[in-house]
Amino acid sequence: MLKKLPVFTLGVEEEYQIIDPVSRDLRSHLSKIVDGAKIILNEQVKAEMHQSVVEVGTNICNNVNDAKNEIRFLRSKIVELADKQDLIVGGAGTHPFSKWQDQPITDDPRYHDIVNELQDAARSNLIFGMHCHVGIENREIGLQLMNQATYFLPHIFALSTNSPFWEGRQTGYKSFRTKVFDKFPRTGLPEYFDSVSSYDNYLETLVKTNCIDNPKKIWWDLRLHPFYNTIEFRICDMSLTVDETICIVAIIQAIVAKLYKLNMNNTSFNVYRLALIKENKFRAARYGIENNMIDFGLQKEVETKMLILELLDFIDDVVDELGSRDDINYVHEILKHGTGADKQLAVFQETGSLSSVVDFITGEFTKGL
């Protein structure tokens, strides 16, 4: 008799752009939005390094539907609080034309320390992402799942691409956010570790040698969280809409559940060299869901959209037990109509105006709230 899957709890973090409705530029909220939100949301909202960014996080959610309701609520509250300050809110991996040089840094010792260490790499890190935690009680199993799930990071990333512009330029990438973040140390695809003790020794070595002051400064695309019993997917651009965020979150949860199921049946997914997976990550950043990625099993190029459909087949046998089929099926809308990056580019092609792109981003942000 097949065992039921455990509850793969979810935690979702989103980083929002605070925007001036007249200039359409990013604008400091002077902590007023965060301070106002803390009265209602407590620790679910916090300031980020730049004053024009607000980060929210859900409570621990037992399923995708709970996560969807929380994200809707959090977006609604931040929009409401921004409106009281005559500001608006948007969701994208980068702002189409804001310059990082014009954006003040939040007055907080943590951010001062990062800027002091990383200098312009930190000051220019004006980017916005979505992070998804999946609960795994057993850290040893969590590490195995992290090693195996790394293969799927480019597929997830391709669906999330939503940052084609940077400082007023069309970059040629569907996600330029990752190129900006690459300047930080300890970013990119995660290293392979054969045991939790090996992983913990790595973290301890970095702390002991003053490379980092705490283990959270491992900023990989996927990490076994140093403090929580989760694996954290950090590769995604911030999404335009709730539906896009939740679709990607549901796929992430299903990948973890499927890999867990394989492990419990004494089998596992292949672990591929990072040098190979990096090729697919580049293609995802450059082309999003268009063009091709590499099927390493077949050792040939395959249309990215076909690989994503194959991923849906791979996770299909866990989706109903997770209760996320409807949310995962939204991926067909993304494959048909494009990612956030494709939609931003279409608006710019039609209007020739980056201000119109900002209006599109802020308009999409409130859909489904």
pLDDT digits (tens, 9 = 90+) for 69-105: 999 999 999 999 999 999 999 999 999 999 999 999 9
Interacting residues of 298 by C-beta distance below 8 A, sequence separation 6+: none
Q: Which residues pair with 176 in a beta bridge?
A: none
pLDDT of residue 318: 97
pLDDT of residue 267: 87
Strands (E), the chain: 10-19, 45-47, 53-57, 88-90, 129-135, 165-166, 169-170, 187-188, 219-220, 222-224, 230-237, 292-295, 300-303
pLDDT of residue 29: 84
Token pair 């069309």: residue = 170
Sign of CA dihedral 266, 269, 274, 275: positive
Amino acid, res. 35 = D
For the segment 228-257, the average pLDDT, to the nearest whole number, is 97
**352 burial type by CB count under 10 A (0-12 exposed, 13-18 middle, 19+ buried):** exposed
Domain membership of residue 19 (yes or no) is yes
Q: How far is Cα 354 from Cα 168, in angstroms, rounded to an integer? A: 7
Mean pLDDT, the chain, rounded, equals: 95
Band of the pLDDT at 355, cuts 50, 70, 90? very high
Domain membership of residue 1 (yes or no) is no
Domain membership of residue 351 (yes or no) is yes
pLDDT of residue 353: 98
pLDDT of residue 1: 41
In tens, the pLDDT along 50-78 reads 999 999 999 999 999 999 999 999 999 99
For the segment 26-35, the average pLDDT, to the nearest whole number, is 88
For the segment 129-135, the average pLDDT, to the nearest whole number, is 98
**236 burial type by CB count under 10 A (0-12 exposed, 13-18 middle, 19+ buried):** buried
Domain membership of residue 3 (yes or no) is no
Give pTM, 2 decimals.
Answer: 0.97
**141 burial type by CB count under 10 A (0-12 exposed, 13-18 middle, 19+ buried):** middle
Count of domains forming the chain: 1
For the segment 249-266, the average pLDDT, to the nearest whole number, is 96
Helix (H, G, I), strand (E, B) or coil at 75: helix
Q: Is the pLDDT of residue 284 over 80?
A: yes
pLDDT of residue 67: 98
Helix (H, G, I), strand (E, B) or coil at 85: coil
In tens, the pLDDT along 308-319 reads 999 999 999 999
Q: How far is Cα 7 from Cα 229, in angstroms, rounded to an integer? A: 13
In tens, the pLDDT along 301-347 reads 999 999 999 999 999 999 999 999 999 999 999 999 999 999 999 99
For the segment 144-154, the average pLDDT, to the nearest whole number, is 97
Q: How far is Cα 320 from Cα 307, in angstroms, rounded to an integer? A: 21
Domain membership of residue 4 (yes or no) is no
* DSSP state string for 175-193: B-HHHHHTTSSSEESPPP-
Band of the pLDDT at 2, cuts 50, 70, 90? low
pLDDT of residue 311: 98
Sign of CA dihedral 277, 282, 283, 287: positive
List the domain range (segments joined by +) for residue 75: 10-366
What's 42's domain CATH number? 3.30.590.20
Amino acid, res. 211 = C
Q: Is the pLDDT of residue 39 over 50?
A: yes
Q: Please report, for residues 52, 75, 350, the alpha-carbon distance to residue 154 in angstroms, rounded to integers and kept in the order given.
A: 28, 27, 29
Mark residue 119 as left, alpha or beta (left: phi above 0; alpha: psi -120 to 50; beta: remaining): left
Interacting residues of 189 by C-beta distance below 8 A, sequence separation 6+: 150, 153, 220, 221, 222, 274, 277, 278, 281
Max avg pLDDT among 29-38, 59-68, 111-120: 59-68
